[in-house]
Structure 1
Amino acid sequence: MNTFLVTLAVFAVALAGMAIGVMLSGRRIKGSCGGLSSFKDHEGNSVCEACTNPSTDCTQRREREAATGGAATGG
């Protein structure tokens, strides 16, 4: 039982440390919506509309692709 409690405490401290590090760095966590801009639909367009609140980068990339006929490459 002691091993379990020690292990739980170590994981809790590590998780808290990572959370505090993210909060102090001021950066946003990039989740699935940030990565969806690289996915394409059946016509080759990015699927920004899959997010309820797509990022500005995703929206701008989608607009560029529409203006150039889908030839723009994301970076």
Structure 2
Amino acid sequence: MTIFLATFAIFLLVVLGMSLGYLVKRKSLQGSCGGISSLGLEKVCNCPEPCDARKKRIAREAQRQNRII
């Protein structure tokens, strides 16, 4: 039982540390380095047209690219 409690306490400390790091940095959570784009896919679903949020994101990225060039 003591091993279980010690392990549980360690996991709680890790989760607490991760949540504090998230709160302090105020940075949104992100996926892994590769993700679905590393598979050659642009989106998860097979929709013929992207959703409104993705359209806005694409437009913002295009504006950033235009400012850089």
Instruction: Give TM-score, length-normalised by structure 2.
Output: 0.53
Question: Could you tell me which of 40, 44, 54 is aligned with 1:39?
Answer: 44
Q: Which runs of 4+ in 1 moved over 6 A?
A: none
Other-structure match for 1:72 = none
For 1:3 and 1:14, how far apart are their aligned partners in 2? 17
Any gaps of 5 or more consecutive residues in structure 1?
49-53, 64-75
Where do 5+ consecutive residues of structure 2 fail to align?
37-41, 60-69
What amino acid sits opposite 2:25 in the alignment?
A: S
Deviations 1:2-30 (A, max 9, x none): 00000000000000000000111111224
- The AA in structure 1 aligned to 2:43 is S
Superposed CA RMSD in Å reads 3.1
Identity among equivalent positions (%) equals 22
Work out which structure has the larger RCO, using CA pairs closer than 8 Å and 6 or more positions apart in sequence.
1
More helix by share: 2
TM-score by length of 1: 0.49
